[in-house]
Amino acid sequence: MPQAPNNEALDEHLKDVVQALHGAINWAMPHMNDPKIVDKAIQDCKEILDVVMEGKVSDWLK
Protein backbone atom coordinates (compact mmCIF):
# COMPACT_ATOMS: atom_id res chain seq x y z
CA MET A 1 0.00 0.00 0.00
CA PRO A 2 1.65 3.27 -1.09
CA GLN A 3 1.67 5.85 1.69
CA ALA A 4 0.20 9.31 1.24
CA PRO A 5 2.79 11.84 0.07
CA ASN A 6 4.78 13.45 2.90
CA ASN A 7 3.17 11.11 5.42
CA GLU A 8 6.33 10.52 7.44
CA ALA A 9 7.73 14.04 7.01
CA LEU A 10 4.53 15.66 8.25
CA ASP A 11 4.33 13.20 11.14
CA GLU A 12 7.89 14.08 12.19
CA HIS A 13 7.25 17.80 11.83
CA LEU A 14 4.13 17.70 13.96
CA LYS A 15 5.92 15.58 16.57
CA ASP A 16 8.49 18.40 16.85
CA VAL A 17 5.72 21.02 17.07
CA VAL A 18 3.93 19.16 19.86
CA GLN A 19 7.18 18.57 21.71
CA ALA A 20 8.04 22.29 21.50
CA LEU A 21 4.61 23.25 22.86
CA HIS A 22 4.84 20.79 25.75
CA GLY A 23 8.38 21.97 26.42
CA ALA A 24 7.26 25.58 26.80
CA ILE A 25 4.23 24.63 28.94
CA ASN A 26 6.14 22.23 31.20
CA TRP A 27 8.86 24.82 31.70
CA ALA A 28 6.33 27.44 32.83
CA MET A 29 4.02 25.32 35.00
CA PRO A 30 6.34 25.07 38.06
CA HIS A 31 7.06 28.84 37.80
CA MET A 32 3.53 30.25 37.89
CA ASN A 33 4.65 32.98 40.29
CA ASP A 34 7.30 34.23 37.87
CA PRO A 35 5.46 36.35 35.29
CA LYS A 36 8.52 36.69 33.08
CA ILE A 37 8.85 32.93 32.57
CA VAL A 38 5.11 32.38 32.19
CA ASP A 39 4.62 35.25 29.74
CA LYS A 40 7.52 34.01 27.63
CA ALA A 41 6.05 30.48 27.55
CA ILE A 42 2.62 31.76 26.56
CA GLN A 43 4.16 33.91 23.83
CA ASP A 44 6.19 30.94 22.54
CA CYS A 45 3.06 28.77 22.46
CA LYS A 46 1.14 31.49 20.64
CA GLU A 47 3.83 31.83 17.98
CA ILE A 48 4.00 28.06 17.43
CA LEU A 49 0.21 27.67 17.36
CA ASP A 50 -0.23 30.60 14.96
CA VAL A 51 1.95 28.75 12.45
CA VAL A 52 -0.04 25.52 12.89
CA MET A 53 -3.33 27.38 12.54
CA GLU A 54 -2.09 28.95 9.30
CA GLY A 55 -1.80 25.42 7.95
CA LYS A 56 0.81 26.09 5.25
CA VAL A 57 1.95 22.48 5.11
CA SER A 58 4.20 22.95 2.08
CA ASP A 59 6.16 25.64 3.94
CA TRP A 60 6.62 23.37 6.96
CA LEU A 61 8.14 20.61 4.89
CA LYS A 62 10.60 22.75 2.89
Partner 1 sequence: MFRDKIELKDFEKMDQEYQDLLRRVLAIQADCEIGGPHLYVEMILPTAPTKLDQLIVARTAAEEIDHYRKIARLAGDIGADVSYVLSRPNQERYVEAFRGRITTWEDFAVFGFLIDRIGRYQLEEFMGCSYAPLERILPEVMREEEGHIDFGTTKTAELAAKGGDSKAKVQKALDCWYVKALDMFGRSDSYRSERYRHWGLKRRTNAQARDEYIKEVNPLIEKMGLQVPDPNKGRLYY
List of residues contacting partner 1 (CB under 8 A):
1-8, 10-11, 14-15, 17-18, 21-22, 24-25, 28-29, 32, 35, 38-39, 41-42, 45-46, 49-50, 52-57
Please state the closest distance from residue 51 (CB atom) to partner 1, in A. Answer: 11
Using CA atoms, how far apart are residues 52 and 24, in angstroms rounded to an integer? 16
Do 10 and 60 form a contact (C-beta atoms < 8 A)?
yes
Instruction: Report the C-alpha gap between 9 and 17 in whole angstroms.
Output: 12
Please report how close the Cβ of residue 41 comes to partner 1 at its closest, in angstroms. 7
Distance between CA atoms of residues 53 and 61, nearest Å = 15
Q: Whole-number minimum distance, CB 4 to partner 1, in Å? A: 4
